[in-house]
């Protein structure tokens, strides 16, 4: 059972219900994208399936109930890149990445080597001694990704696939690093691991997602392959604005807002 599965998940904060009985399935070997409007419950869902917020319902990673994992076992099986991470102390990049080095990870390489490999993997070779506060927003985000990668470096373990769970991982990255990150995610999945990524960019979602889950108001509005989910009726209803997915032969779907079609902005390309 190489999946993360969630059945009828309900999350409440105080008296407010945030997730209203969500079913979710992510398969190892695939990149599963979670998309949807601000406040629709994407972060809450990935926190619930990561075991970071209390929920009711049945959540299992690799067929084993979340509650049956010890903390250290969960840490060895799934790594979570949060939407925002605040570091209050002047740690260096290498110290932060080193927080992800677990006993299991040291089978791969010595801790110092693993830290360097992880920084290199996110394009930050040579940044290890830099204080985190001196790095740019995108660099900080990539340091946090390197920390998570250290934690789950090998996509497969004796206990089944490992899971890379990322909440808006490309939000502060330039286009080259966005593509680099999505390719890293795809490679991780193709090597047998599982990837769950919250994304606002529908075009990157279409390009790199194998499975797309669209959330709206704490519920799953649609789930399936990108071409099944990224349809004009579904997208326009979920995001409450007119959206036009188009198809590129042999390349899949891309999404344009109505305004791009109504205004002459695209004509620039013809000039
Ligand atoms: N700790 C909390 N206490 C109370 N309400 C919360 C808390 N965290 C989130 N919420 C509320 O739950 C809803 C879902 O939040 P969530 O962070 O899951 O949304 P999201 O889909 O990730 O949005 P975004 O795209 O803006 O990141 C929102 O209405 C939010 O205000
Ligand atoms: Mg969020």
Residue nearest to atom 7 of ligand 1 (CA): 13
pLDDT above 60 (res 271):
no
How many Å apart are CA 253 and CA 249, to the nearest integer? 9
Quick one: pLDDT at residue 45?
98
β-pairing, 3-13 with 56-61? antiparallel
* Weakest-pLDDT range from 62-76, 107-121, 186-200: 107-121
pLDDT above 80 (res 199):
yes
Of 114, 106, 47, 120, whose CA–CA distance to 76 is shortest?
A: 106
Q: Is residue 255 part of a domain?
A: yes
Two tokens, residue 121 = 């993997």
CA angle 173, 87, 142 (to 5 degrees): 25
pLDDT above 90 (res 153):
yes
Q: Is residue 267 part of a domain?
A: yes
Q: Is residue 6 part of a domain?
A: yes
Which residue matches tokens 């797309």?
212
Quick one: pLDDT at residue 106?
67
Domain span at 258: 1-69+197-271
**pLDDT, tens only, 86-139:** 888 899 999 999 999 976 666 778 899 999 999 999 999 999 999 999 999 999
Q: Is residue 214 part of a domain?
A: yes
Residue nearest to atom 3 of ligand 1 (CA): 13
Listed ranges 37-41, 255-259, 266-270; the one with the highest mean pLDDT:
37-41
DSSP letter for each residue of 197-253: EE-S-HHHHHHH-SEEEEEETTEEEEEE-HHHHS-HHHHHHHHTS-EEEEEETTTEE
Q: Is residue 21 part of a domain?
A: yes
pLDDT above 80 (res 258):
no
Which band of pLDDT confidence, cut at 50, 70 and 90, is reported for residue 255?
A: confident
pLDDT above 60 (res 178):
yes
Mutate to test the pocket of ligand 1, among 43, 168, 198 (most ligand atoms within 8 A of CB): 43
Q: Is residue 164 part of a domain?
A: no
Residues 255-266 have a mean pLDDT of 68
CB 239 within 8 Å of CB 37: yes
Q: Is 43 in the pocket of ligand 1 (CB under 6 A)?
A: yes
Look over the chain and give the mean of its residue pLDDT values, rounded to a whole number.
92
CATH of the domain at 226: 3.40.50.300
pLDDT above 90 (res 266):
no
Q: Is 136 in the pocket of ligand 1 (CB under 6 A)?
A: no
How many Å apart are CA 268 and CA 255, to the nearest integer? 18
Q: Is residue 46 part of a domain?
A: yes
CB 47 within 8 Å of CB 81: no
- Which stretches does DSSP call E strand in 92-193? 156-157, 160-161, 163-167
Atom number in ligand 1 closest to CA 45: 18
Two tokens, residue 235 = 């997208």
Which band of pLDDT confidence, cut at 50, 70 and 90, is reported for residue 158?
A: very high
**pLDDT, tens only, 30-65:** 999 999 999 999 999 999 999 999 999 999 999 999
Mutate to test the pocket of ligand 1, among 10, 40, 45 (most ligand atoms within 8 A of CB): 40
Q: Is residue 248 packed enough to be buried (19+ CB in 10 Å), middle (13-18) or exposed (0-12)?
A: exposed
Which residues lie closer than 8 Å to 129 by C-beta, 6 or more apart? 92, 93, 94
Domain count for the chain, please give it.
1
Q: Is residue 244 part of a domain?
A: yes
Residues 133-162 have a mean pLDDT of 96
Which band of pLDDT confidence, cut at 50, 70 and 90, is reported for residue 264?
A: low
pLDDT above 70 (res 265):
no
Atom number in ligand 1 closest to CA 44: 18
Quick one: pLDDT at residue 84?
85
Two tokens, residue 124 = 């930050």
Question: Three-class SS of residue 72?
Answer: helix
């Amino acid at each position: 059972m190489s999946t993360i599965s969630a059945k009828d998940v309900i999350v409440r904060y105080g008296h407010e219900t945030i997730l209203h009985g969500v079913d979710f399935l992510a398969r190892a070997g695939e990149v599963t994208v979670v998309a949807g409007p601000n406040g629709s419950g994407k972060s809450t869902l990935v926190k619930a399936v990561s075991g970071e917020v209390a929920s009711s319902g049945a959540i299992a990673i690799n067929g084993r109930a979340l509650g049956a994992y010890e903390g250290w076992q969960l840490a060895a099986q799934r790594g979570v890149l949060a939407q925002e991470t605040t570091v209050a102390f002047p740690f260096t990049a290498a110290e932060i990445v080193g927080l992800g080095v677990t006993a299991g990870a040291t089978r791969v390489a010595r801790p110092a080597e693993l830290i360097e490999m992880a920084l290199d993997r996110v394009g930050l070779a040579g940044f290890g001694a830099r204080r985190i506060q001196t790095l740019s927003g995108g660099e900080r985000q990539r340091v946090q990704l390197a920390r998570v990668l250290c934690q789950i470096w090998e996509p497969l373990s004796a206990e089944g696939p490992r899971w890379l769970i990322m909440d808006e991982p490309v939000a502060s990255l330039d286009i080259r690093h966005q593509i680099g990150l999505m390719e890293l995610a795809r490679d991780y999945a193709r090597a047998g691991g599982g990837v769950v990524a919250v994304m606002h960019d529908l075009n990157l979602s279409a390009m790199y997602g194998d499975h797309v889950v669209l959330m709206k108001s704490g519920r799953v509005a649609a789930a399936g392959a990108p071409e099944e989910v990224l349809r004009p009726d579904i997208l326009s209803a979920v995001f409450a604005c007119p959206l036009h997915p188009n198809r590129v032969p042999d390349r899949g779907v891309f999404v344009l807002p109505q305004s791009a079609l109504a205004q002459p902005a695209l004509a620039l390309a013809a000039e």
